[in-house]
Amino acid sequence: MGQRSFEAVVVPHLDAAFNYARWLAGNDADAEDVVQDAAVRAFRFFSSLRGEDARAWLLTIVRHAWYARLSSQRARAVSTEYDEMADPRPDESLGPEALVMQRQTVERVRRAVDQLPVDFREVIVLRELEGLSYKEIAAVVGIPTGTVMSRLARARERLLAMLDPALATGDAS
């Protein structure tokens, strides 16, 4: 551990930390604050990081930082405004109609994920966007792996229902 610096171990996972915080918080400003808080905590607890995966370790800290902030400002109204997210770059190989379709689809999916309850949203983000295993998600969120599996299943059923009622199988449980 001695040779691994904070910079070398933690900074490579800042994108993951920010992406997770952004999905939890729903806007850039809060997400940045959460990651700043998390960095301070990570710095403080850095010596306690042993052999574990640094990314899962940092994401766990991000989650704690988010909940700590949430409970300290529960009185404050939750911001509902949508930050304009970076538009996905257009795919040059598509024609104008297909391009519009692609953009609309991505936007619909983003909104659907955003509308999931946070318990569902975070497992989807950790699994699909971060590629974490069930075991790693279980460690970050603090739930058994069986719960990770059932939350993912229910989150996906909800997304399918939201995105296209005709797609859903109706076998949600």
Partner 1 sequence: MTCHELGRLIDPYVDDELGPDEAARFAEHVEQCEACRRRLDEREALGRLIRAVPYHRAPEHLRQSVMTSRRGAGPRRAIVWAAAAMIVIGLGSAAGFRVWRLSQATSAIADTIVARHVDAFTTGLISVPSSDQHTVKPWFQGKLDFSPPVWDLGAAGFPLLGGRVDTVNGRKVAALVYQRRLHMISVMIWPLDNRTAANDARTIRGFHERHWVEDGMSIWAVSDVNDSDLTEFVRAFRSAHP
Residues that bind partner 1 (CB under 8 A): 7-8, 10-12, 14-15, 17-19, 22-23, 28, 31-33, 35-37, 39-40, 43, 85-93, 105-106, 109-110, 113, 124, 127-129, 131, 133-134, 149, 152-153, 156, 159-160, 163, 167, 169, 171
- Closest separation in Å from C-beta 78 to partner 1: 19
Q: CA distances (Å), 69 to each of 15, 22, 24, 57, 163, in order?
A: 20, 14, 12, 19, 32
Distance CA 127, CA 136 (A): 9
| Closer of 131 and 144 to partner 1 (Cβ) | 131
Give CA 42 to chain center in angstroms.
18
**17 near 35, Cβ under 8 Å?**
yes
Show the tokens assigned to 2. 């001695």
| Closer of 32 and 64 to partner 1 (Cβ) | 32
| Closer of 23 and 66 to partner 1 (Cβ) | 23
| Closer of 119 and 128 to partner 1 (Cβ) | 128
- Closest separation in Å from C-beta 20 to partner 1: 9
Distance CA 71, CA 162 (A): 30
| Closer of 87 and 97 to partner 1 (Cβ) | 87
- Closest separation in Å from C-beta 68 to partner 1: 13
- Closest separation in Å from C-beta 156 to partner 1: 6
The 10 Å Cβ neighbour count of residue 148 is 23
* Terminal C-alpha separation, the chain: 45
- Closest separation in Å from C-beta 8 to partner 1: 5
The 10 Å Cβ neighbour count of residue 145 is 14
- Give me Rg for the CA atoms of the chain: 18
